[in-house]
Structure 1
Amino acid sequence: MAVDTLTFSAITLVYLGVVILLGYIGYRQTKGSDDFLVAGRRINPVVLALSYGATFISTSAIVGFGGISAQLGMGLVWLTVLCIGVGVLVAFVLFGKRTRMLGHATGALTYPDLLGKCYDSPFIRKISAVIIIVSMPIYTAAILIGGARFIETTLSIPYDTALLAFAAVVALYVVLGGLIAVMYTDALQGAIMFVGMTVLLVLTYVYLGGIGAANSALDSLAPLVPESLAAAGMTGWASMPTFLSPIWLTMITTMVLGVGIGVLAQPQLAVRFMTVKDDRSIHRAVMVGGPFVLMMTGVAFTVGPLTNVWFMQNGGTLAVDAAGGNVDSVIPFYINSAMPDLFIIIFMLALLAAAMSTLSSLFHTMGTTIGYDLNPLVKNGKPSMTAIQIGTLVMIVVSTVVAYALPANIIARATVIFMGLCAAAFIPAFAHALYAKNPSVMAAKVSITTGALAWFLWTAFVHAKESAVLGISDALFGVPSVLPMPWGVVNPIVIALPVSAVTLMVVLAIEKRAPCTTTNTSP
């Protein structure tokens, strides 16, 4: 369906104008490093909630996981449960308040800086920064791909043009305005996302004859499950896969646990807790963040499977087949095929908002990490704004290059890869830093390194989706996965996170705890 060019241009110009205005306001309010790095520690709780939610929910959730749910069914709704229970309630109440308190007490400006100061360990700061710089460009590239693919599909412009223009627009206000500009624009983009996803859910059910008729029609498609998916345990789009089948293990360990737990150790999210002035602001933010995440993920994982009903009724084919076999194209293709022109424009803005909000946060995180945490020229913990801005530009270029190198069907998987590695490496040490009176430096070092190593070994030699692509296992042992099924579909987080936690507890049990103050402000 063609989009009315004049209407699209007018709405898009208004949107970009408001984004630029908010970026300019952020730029004018950015007077020093505290403003650029942690938004001056005075952000409104509603802005915090919308910024957190918009950063968390990206094109990965809407396009990537929406497409996966179109392929595998509504079982992914369990991820919504974890996103709210863990990603909002646990993250804000148990992690957020302590992160805010320690961030203020230590004067920490970034996530690696916070860990380094809590443990009074330059090594922990540096290794955390290295993990971020190595892994985050993969996730960032996936977000770039999601936004660019929708622009390509909607406006019929070359993918390369869409990708480069998309990255350039976001780079503009991130480099100039810092975290204040990022969070202000996030709040706007979060509001647009909420409206777009709400209308998408309503229109989908209206087109399919109502909730009851749509869900009944989806259930009746069970006999059409592709033979390969049925053999792997899929029972239909309205039911869970067979317990412990390959698809069940993939859905639960990779999608649900990988993202639902991985959110607790996301550097770009954790730093947001250091942008508010008190615990009351965090409590108020929960009341906005919970419903927001419910709508964003719940709608994507509901509409995704229902696209099969629409495509069957209007073309006699399943959604993934209609999208040319690329799960990342299902949601964009459905929107352009089923929705009226005006909503295509609104949803494109919602999708761009989702991508831009997450991209801006990732660009900012990578820029501060390479320009501050890993910058050997930083003296006495005093950041250089110029170095951070240059670092941000460098990582934007790197992420764009990575986006060109990644294969199709990668958006959801890249998200899981990044979040799983962060969870395995950081969660035990992060929790220990937040709640121990004298956190053990050695325990944290061992936990972070063994967690990251366990994650890499399982990824390179066992988890077939990645090990087959990397080729290390095949080169050394002649097989893509060194362990038989079902281990080949068990996500690395299921192994690496317990390894990380156990090693931390073992070290704590056998060492004489060295005194460490959580208020030490040395880098």
Structure 2
Amino acid sequence: MEQELAFGGWAGILIMASYGLLMLGIGLFTFLRNRNLRNSNEEYYLGGKGLSIMVLFFTFYATQYSGNTIIGYAPQGYRIGFEWIQSITFMILVMVGYLLFAPRLYALSRKHNFITPSDWLDKRFRSKGITILGSFLMLYGLGNYLLEQLVAVGQGVSGLTGGTIPYQIAVVFFIIIMLIYSWLGGMRAVAYTDTMQGIALLFGVCILVIGSIIYFGGLPTSANYMATLSPEKLGVPEASGISGWFSMLLLTCIGAAIYPHAIQRIFSAKNESTLKNSLIGMAWMPFITTGVIFLVGIIGINAFPKLDVMESEQLVGMMANVIASQNAFFYWAMILLFGGIIAAIISTADSVLLTFSSVISKDLYGKFINSKASEHKQIIVGKISGILAVAVLLLLAWYPPATLYEIFVLKFELLIQIAPAFILGLYWKKLHTASVFTGMIVGTILASLMTFINMEPLGVFSGLWGLLVNLIICVCGSYLFQVTTEEQTEAERIIGL
């Protein structure tokens, strides 16, 4: 028997429009309150380096848990079963990744006034090659991540409204909202909306899993169903699956921690205590968010059996609609979830776009094309480049080329090639600049070729093979071609606290 869609028709349209207008209002309020946004890179891209604990926590939360988590992780759990419990583990490891470098990098950002992640590369190595290559790898990762958010908002709205709002209409509507809102508000507007949506998202996700257990039977029912019809989703992975599992953990631990827009949030903290307390709060979120979404995906196997790959991408919306149809409490709870998902995706997309624009405007245009450009002109160039980038990504998002999980993995393959420069460069004053550049470019080429031909020896992701070669060249080269005493002294001055 077909369920009536709780968010179908005008209800879905009204919810989508309301959240869009709310985000626009926050962007306009921030613009009117902070007129210096137009003339200062620090204010526009970092919120004046004054984000408080709660705001910083929620902007980290929105960056880490967005469309790829809420909309993308449940379908992956639906497709592969209990093996996807690894999603909780790798979100924990992301926090481990942050702790490897975040506190020290924050201290150095205050010492040297960093605005973008590439500022660190430029200051540490004084190499055009490393700065430009690192910037392009970041732009690749950011562009890929932005595409992921555009696909997520389309799949999410389409699923939540039962197709009343078509996928493509949802993508276009929120692209327009994002561009206006990003143009007006900068980092402060992003952080304020993150706080709003984070509260709604946490509440909605918890109610979603409670409703799923009540109305679809919970884990025992799903496990019995899988044992009968899909036993492979209950079994232990084969050797290649286990190696793939561990390589995914390592890929995410390193890759997600060095998200360029996450690094800009590190730079935005009011002080070091604020940063550390925000990261402590984030340590609990894998269980509360990723763990809950994993349960939703498993329960969905029984609730909506035999969905194909692309149909399963709308699983969260389908389950939310059924739960919302039951009574008034669940209806309003799912409205909060719906709005929270939309706001989370757009807030993340906005912050990604903000960092994308900053890398182009400040690191490429401001350093290498027009070094005399004012900060106001750099911001204008960044805004225009952001619009052009979104236009290109819109063409890809119109008919998504892959599932959200596949897009999620793809961005890490090349992004992690900047990890040796970022992390080793913070602690090792004898790191050899030419070896770092050679390792980065060889690792990038190797990972690209292996990804292109779909080659994953031993089930290990191609990006990790590239990183291994990258790291070997970087470390061995630093021992073979030792830096001069003057270079060591300069490195110690830069990385010394």
Bin for the TM-score computed over the shorter chain: 0.7 to 0.9
| CA RMSD, 1 decimal | 2.6
Equivalent residue letter for 2:116: T
Equivalences, count: 472
State the match for 2:292 in structure 1.
Answer: 299
Query: Does structure 2 conserve the Cα–Cα contact (< 8 Å) formed by 1:30 and 1:178?
Result: no
How far the C-alpha of 1:122 sits from its partner, in A, is 2.3
**C-alpha displacement of 1:11:** 5.2
**Does 2:252 align with 1:259?**
yes
Measure, in 1, the Cα distance between the counterparts of 2:119 and 2:258: 14
Residues 211-254 of structure 1: CA deviation (Å, up to 9, x unaligned): xxx3322322344455xxx7xxx3x34x5323x14x44444434
Which residue does 1:191 correspond to in 2?
199
CA distance in 1, matches of 2:397, 2:458: 26
**TM-score normalized by structure 1?**
0.83
Per-residue CA distance 1:328-347 (angstroms, 9 max, x = gap): 22222232334434344322
Change (3 A) 1:327 1:30: farther
Shift of the alpha carbon at 1:71?
Answer: 0.9
Amino acid across the alignment from 1:241 = P
1:23·1:184 contact (CA, 8 Å) conserved in 2? no
Q: Equivalent of 1:492, from 437, 444, 462? A: 462
User: Would the alpha carbon gap of residues 6 and 402 (structure 1) be closer, same or farther in structure 2, given more than 3 Å must change?
Assistant: closer
The 5-angstrom pairing of residues 217-236 of structure 1 reads 217-226=221-230, 234=232, 236=233
Residue 362 (structure 1) aligned to one of 319, 331, 352: 352
Among 400, 403, 411, which residue is 1:406 paired with? 400
Q: Structure 2: which amino acid aligns with 1:402?
A: L
Displacement after TM superposition at 1:520 (Å): 6.2
Q: Of the candidates 88, 92, 96, which is equivalent to residue 95 of structure 2?
A: 88
> 2:332 maps to which residue?
342
* Between 8-17 and 75-84, the greater mean CA deviation after superposition: 8-17
Q: Contact conserved, 2:6 with 2:322, CA < 8 A, in 1?
A: no
Query: How far has the Cα of 1:125 moved from its partner?
Result: 1.4
1:138 to 134, 144, 160: 144
Contact between 2:74 and 2:296, CA under 8 Å: does it hold in 1?
Answer: yes
Does the residue aligned with 2:165 lie in a helix, a strand or coil? coil
The one-letter code sitting in structure 2 at the alignment partner of 1:497 is L
In structure 2, C-alpha distance between the alignment counterparts of 1:118 and 1:225, rounded to whole Å: 56
Question: For 1:262 and 1:126, how far apart are their aligned partners in 2?
Answer: 19
Partner AA of 1:109 in structure 2: I
Contact map agreement 1:89 1:286 (CA 8 A) in 2: no
Q: Residue deviations 1:19-48, cap 9 Å, x none?
A: 233323432325122111222111112211
**Deviation for aligned residue 1:415:** 1.0
CA-to-aligned-CA distance 1:360-393 (integer Å, 9 cap, x gap): 1111111112222221443258532211111221
Other structure's SS at 2:87 match = helix
1:12-91 aligned within 5 A:
12=16, 15-27=19-31, 28-29=33-34, 31=36, 32-84=40-92, 86-91=93-98
- Of the three residues 280, 288, 299, the one matched with 1:287 is 280
Equivalent position amino acid for 1:431 in 2: I
Equivalences for residues 420-459 of structure 1 within 5 A: 420-423=413-416, 425-437=417-429, 439-459=431-451
Q: Is the 8 A contact 1:323 1:329 kept in 2?
A: no
TM-score w.r.t. the length of structure 2 is 0.87
Contact 1:54 1:186 in 2 (8 A): yes
Give the gaps of 5 or more residues in structure 2: 326-330
Instruction: Indicate if the aligned counterparts of 2:13 and 2:165 stay in contact, CA closer than 8 A.
Output: no
Residues 79 and 260, structure 1, Cα contact 8 Å, conserved in 2: no
Structure 1 range deviating more: 51-60 or 331-340:
331-340
CA distance in 2 between counterparts of 1:248 and 1:437 reads 37
Q: Is the 8 A contact 2:201 2:336 kept in 1?
A: no
Which moves more between the two structures, 504-513 or 370-379? 370-379
Pick from 469, 491, 494 the counterpart of residue 517 of structure 1: 491
Matches within 5 A, 1:143-162: 143-155=149-161, 156-162=164-170
Unmatched tracts of structure 1, length 5 or more: 312-317, 465-486
